[in-house]
């Protein structure tokens, strides 16, 4: 096991995507990180702003955005076009040979349209398959993959797909071949015991602690799907899973910061 | 020379990009075409419409659009995002393993910002370098490349770049390695002697005929840069260059339609 090569899979999300200077600083720290890397990015608030500018009404059900055809168009433009290509150009500037991809490109990630008895989420995809051979092949050629949260169903339909889930799916698909470190990075320094206190980072989170904090309602809302993805990754053989601040990437990769998700 | 493998490089432009049904019919004919293929697409009228919807004024000088920062953003969203990814998803549906790329991805096409003593074209790029090794590598892995007309300068700046020029630059960069057939496809059946008469296709166009028709003003306006690119490709070792109708791709590739550009 020990001679598997290290692979970093880093999800970047939160407000940092919308802030060019902070994003570029993060991309510099990504470029200096040695070894094989995959970046999965969310979309920040730009898609919401673009939809508003284009007078496309945003329908929310239970706090989730419904992806109708016009919203999917905006997401494809903003995530797969504007954000993805600007990240790639910036990484190229840093000397990192990046390639920007959606799930449709090279049939990288196949998904199916989510069906629910109660809610029609629209063009939202749940991941079925990650093309780990294609990813391994590109990594072997020295490329850094930059993945936008858009997949396809193999029948010509693009699908809006949660970036945390994409990061987890890609990480688990490569967990046999590589010693994968999966990092969920955002604007907070880790999972906080008190959301108001940035010094309350939980250094290690195992299933029993997680259950306890959920019961005590110390961990709630938006953090839950992220942590669920993190535990699913660890259970599926991903070596390290860390949640922490994008601007402290060096600390997260060296094990000196963030919240480590552990089996026990 | 004869044992070089055949490579088709097809530029698709004109109104067909804006018409989903015609575009999908074209993509089907591309998928059934055997052998290695690269598709270079323009942007159609969607970028202009999107800029209007977003109230971004379009500045034109001498019939050319000036690409200011906001217009570049629209172009990146529409060309590299919406159009590119929908083409890729459709090709995947046809069983063609397509990958959508800009010049920034894998450092595929490097360009510099156009400088002119008289006009500031904005973020418009002229091609300096095509990464033929990366392209050859991807083609060898069975991928069909779908290239959007956006390049980068290696310093973090994306640049709007003419799709006809990209097709020519890619074709010439691969002319040693492959027997390249470069096809400029659009809504007309070829170069017409009379723009009003679709039956007036010039079957073969050599430099002296071209000079004659230009002098007689039978060939003019938008066709000139396209034909100039076509002659530049032939001069640089591209085996066949054909201009013709996108919906007659099988005729163009079998030499039974369109206008062939020839040395003599």
| DSSP β-bridge partners for residue B156 | none
Residue B93 lies in a domain: yes
Residue B227 lies in a domain: no
Residue B234 lies in a domain: no
Q: Return the number of CB contacts < 8 Å for A and B.
A: 117
Q: For chain A, which residues lie within 8 Å of any Cβ of chain B, measuring from their own Cβ?
A: 50, 53-54, 73, 76-82, 84-86, 88-90, 92-93, 97-102, 104-107, 137, 141, 143, 150, 152, 154-158
Residue B49 lies in a domain: yes
Instruction: Report d(CA A171, CA A242) in Å as an integer.
Output: 13
Instruction: Identify the CATH number of the domain in which residue B23 sits.
Output: 3.40.1160.10
From A167's Cα to the closest Cα of chain B, the distance in A is 20
Asked if A105's CB is within 8 angstroms of B99's CB, the reply is yes
CA angle B259, B262, B264 (to 5 degrees): 135
| pTM as predicted | 0.96
Instruction: Report d(CA A12, CA A247) in Å as an integer.
Output: 10
Q: What is the ipTM, given to two decimal places?
A: 0.95
Chain B residues within an 8 Å CB radius of A54: 53-54
Range of the domain at A233: 5-261
Q: What pLDDT shows up at residue B63?
A: 67
Q: How confident is the model at residue A199 (pLDDT cuts 50, 70, 90)?
A: very high
* pLDDT, tens only, A65-92: 799 999 999 999 999 999 999 999 999 9
CB-CB neighbours of B241 under 10 Å: 28
Residue B239 lies in a domain: no
What percentage of chain A's residues is helix, strand, coil (to nearest 5)? 40, 25, 35
Q: Lowest mean pLDDT of A23-32, A44-53, A160-169, B4-13, name the range.
A: A44-53
Residue of A nearest to B107 (CA): A97
Instruction: Kindly state the average pLDDT of the residues A147-171.
Output: 97
Chain B residues within an 8 Å CB radius of A89: 104, 152, 156-158
Residue B180 lies in a domain: yes
Q: What pLDDT shows up at residue B165?
A: 96
Instruction: Kindly state the average pLDDT of the residues A32-54.
Output: 93
Closest CA to B53 of A54, A58, A52, A122: A54
For chain B, how many structural domains are there in total?
1
Output the tens digit of pLDDT for each of chain B's 264 residues: 568 999 999 999 878 998 999 999 999 999 999 999 999 998 878 999 999 999 999 888 776 779 999 999 999 999 999 999 999 999 999 999 999 999 999 999 999 999 877 888 999 999 999 999 999 999 999 999 999 999 999 999 999 999 999 999 999 999 999 999 999 999 999 999 998 999 999 999 999 999 999 999 999 888 999 999 999 999 999 999 999 999 999 999 998 999 999 988
Residue B114 lies in a domain: yes
């Amino acid at each position: 096991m020990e001679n598997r090569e290290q692979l970093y899979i880093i999800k970047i999300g939160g407000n940092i995507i919308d802030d060019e200077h902070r994003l570029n600083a993060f991309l510099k720290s990504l470029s200096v990180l040695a070894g094989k890397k995959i970046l999965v990015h969310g979309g920040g608030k730009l898609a919401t702003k673009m939809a508003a500018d284009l007078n496309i009404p945003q329908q929310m059900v239970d706090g989730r955005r419904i992806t109708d055809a016009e919203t999917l168009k905006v997401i494809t433009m903003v995530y797969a076009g504007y954000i993805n290509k600007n990240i790639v150009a910036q990484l190229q500037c840093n000397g990192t040979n990046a390639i920007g991809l959606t799930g449709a490109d090279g049939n990288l990630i196949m998904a199916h349209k989510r069906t629910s008895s109660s809610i029609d989420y629209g063009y939202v995809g749940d991941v079925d398959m990650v093309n780990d051979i294609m990813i391994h092949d590109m990594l072997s050629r020295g490329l850094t993959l930059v993945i936008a949260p858009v997949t396809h169903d193999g029948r010509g339909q693009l699908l809006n797909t949660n970036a945390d889930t994409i990061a987890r799916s890609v990480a688990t698909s490569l967990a046999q071949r590589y010693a994968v470190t999966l990092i969920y990075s955002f604007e907070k320094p880790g999972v906080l015991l008190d959301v108001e206190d940035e010094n309350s980072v939980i250094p290690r989170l195992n299933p029993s602690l997680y259950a306890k904090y959920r019961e005590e309602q110390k961990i709630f809302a938006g953090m839950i799907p992220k942590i669920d993805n993190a535990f699913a990754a660890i259970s599926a053989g991903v070596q390290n899973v860390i949640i922490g601040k994008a601007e402290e990437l060096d600390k997260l990769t060296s094990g000196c910061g963030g919240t480590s998700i552990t089996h026990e």
